């Protein structure tokens, strides 16, 4: 089981610069401690995730401070971008980190995010894979047909050339088994979550992914599944739970307004505006309790080892530790010795 670090926070610090400082300090820690990678997201037009409108510039800063850590967009919302622009930006980043880049892509789900390309919203799932194919072709040195400013048909090549001959790709998948199957057919990795708490559904999705991976003529063991889990570790479980309880529940409340966009994306008639404060409180209480029941890495290192064993048996081979869920930087940094201990123990098991 490999461990990586993931960020996906709201505005936890007085300034975005303070949030970035925490990211860079934890990146240096993860590099020293032998973590597999660092994931940075793309979020728009909401206080939730507001420090992260584009993962590429911040990953460039991470590249300058690390030597071994894999840098991952987690995830770049492909339908919000031009493929030439993505290919150029990612190639610059690949050069800055000397070939340590892996690109995670997502289809997006919030209608407001599509202010960049509103016409792509309804077809966003198909557009995701079309654009990934275009980026991959440009990465390999292919030509892209476009119109110039004088309406002339031109064929252009993305520059600079990247370090890696092939771009490693991850697909962000939530509940849709078809997204898992598509990633398997294409031979790409999957990054997912269990925010709904359904471990059986996760196991079914991973099985479908590996089946498609094998049907395409590949060894299913070569497939990669990364699972995002909220993470906070300490010496005493009760102390950890009490420290995390209020920030975690406040974090969930900050996500609640985004549920409107998610309901639209999934074509569900959920009227978020009619949820009472009591309903929100009950939702966050139950969600937090479920997270403590083997669906997070909140607790002691031994608690975390037990959860890692469970998800490994479901087919997960990497856990992306989401560390900034409502906690300030100084609180996040307190758990670093315990994270290092957990990561070291997983490396020993793999050996």
Kindly state the tokens that stand for 202. 């996760």
Residue 320 burial class via C-beta count within 10 angstroms: exposed 0-12, middle 13-18, buried 19 and up = buried
Residue 32 burial class via C-beta count within 10 angstroms: exposed 0-12, middle 13-18, buried 19 and up = middle
Q: Are 227 and 308 in contact (CB under 8 A)?
A: no
Kindly state the tokens that stand for 243. 């420290």
The model's pLDDT over 73-111, given as tens digits with 9 standing for 90+, comes to 999 999 999 999 999 999 999 999 999 999 999 999 889
> At 101, is the secondary structure helix, strand, or coil?
strand
Q: What pLDDT score was predicted for residue 127?
A: 98
The CA-based dihedral angle spanning residues 340, 76, 92, 161, taken in that order and rounded to the nearest 10 degrees: 120
Q: What CATH number corresponds to the domain at position 103?
A: 3.20.20.30
What Cα–Cα distance (Å) separates residue 171 from each residue in 58, 60, 227, 309? 20, 21, 12, 24
Alpha helices for 46-143 (secondary structure H): 55-65, 83-96, 124-139
* Residue 112 burial (CB count, 10 A): 13
> At 104, is the secondary structure helix, strand, or coil?
strand
Q: Are 192 and 174 in contact (CB under 8 A)?
A: yes
Reported as type and span, the H/E element at residue 344 is helix 336-350
- Walk along the chain (351 residues) and give the pLDDT tens digit of each residue: 999 999 987 556 678 899 999 999 999 999 999 999 999 999 998 877 889 999 999 999 999 999 999 999 999 999 999 999 999 999 999 999 999 999 999 999 889 999 999 999 999 999 999 999 999 999 999 999 999 999 999 999 999 999 999 999 999 998 899 999 999 999 999 999 998 778 999 999 999 999 999 999 999 889 999 999 999 999 999 999 999 999 898 888 776 655 544 444 445 555 555 666 777 788 788 889 999 999 999 999 999 999 999 999 999 999 999 999 888 889 999 999 999 999 999 976 655
Kindly state the tokens that stand for 313. 């048996």
Q: What pLDDT score was predicted for residue 263?
A: 46
Kindly state the tokens that stand for 76. 């770049």
Q: Are 196 and 203 in contact (CB under 8 A)?
A: no
Reported as type and span, the H/E element at residue 292 is helix 277-292
Kindly state the tokens that stand for 20. 């970035």
User: Domain total for the chain?
Assistant: 1
The model's pLDDT over 118-130, given as tens digits with 9 standing for 90+, comes to 999 999 999 999 9
The model's pLDDT over 185-202, given as tens digits with 9 standing for 90+, comes to 999 999 999 987 789 999
Q: Domain containing 30: what range? A: 2-350
Q: How far apart are CA 39 and CA 167, in angstroms?
A: 16
């Amino acid at each position: 089981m490999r461990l990586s670090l993931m960020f996906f926070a709201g505005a936890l610090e007085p300034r975005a610069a303070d949030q970035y400082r925490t990211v860079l300090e934890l990146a240096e820690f993860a590099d020293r401690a032998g973590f597999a990678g660092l994931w940075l997201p793309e979020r728009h037009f909401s206080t939730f995730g507001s420090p992260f409108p584009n993962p590429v510039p911040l990953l460039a800063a991470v590249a300058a401070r690390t030597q071994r850590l894999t840098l991952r967009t987690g995830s770049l919302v492909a339908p919000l971008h031009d493929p030439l622009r993505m290919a150029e930006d990612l190639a610059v980043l690949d050069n800055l980190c000397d070939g340590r880049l892996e690109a995670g892509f997502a289809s997006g789900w919030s209608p407001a995010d599509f202010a960049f390309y509103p016409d792509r919203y309804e077809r966003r799932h198909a557009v995701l894979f079309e654009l990934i194919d275009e980026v991959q072709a440009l990465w390999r040195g292919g030509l892209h047909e476009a119109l110039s400013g004088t309406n002339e048909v031109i064929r252009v090549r993305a520059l600079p050339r990247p370090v890696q001959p092939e771009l490693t790709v991850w697909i962000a998948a939530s509940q849709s088994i078809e997204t898992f199957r598509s990633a398997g057919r294409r031979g790409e990795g999957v990054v997912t979550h269990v925010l709904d708490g359904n471990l059986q559904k996760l196991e079914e999705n991973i099985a479908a992914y590996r089946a498609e991976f094998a049907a395409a003529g590949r060894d299913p063991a070569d497939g990669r599944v990364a699972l995002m889990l909220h993470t906070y570790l300490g010496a005493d479980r009760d102390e950890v739970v009490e420290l995390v309880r209020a920030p975690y529940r406040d974090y969930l409340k900050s996500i609640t307004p985004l549920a409107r966009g998610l309901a639209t994306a999934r074509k569900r008639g959920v009227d978020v505006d009619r949820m009472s404060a009591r309903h929100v409180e009950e939702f966050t209480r139950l969600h937090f309790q479920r997270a403590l029941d083997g669906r997070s890495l909140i607790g002691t290192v031994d608690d975390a080892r037990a959860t890692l064993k469970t998800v490994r048996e479901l087919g997960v081979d990497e856990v992306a530790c989401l560390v900034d869920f409502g906690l300030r930087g100084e609180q996040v940094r307190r758990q670093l010795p315990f994270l290092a201990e957990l990561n070291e123990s997983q490396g020993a098991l793999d050996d």
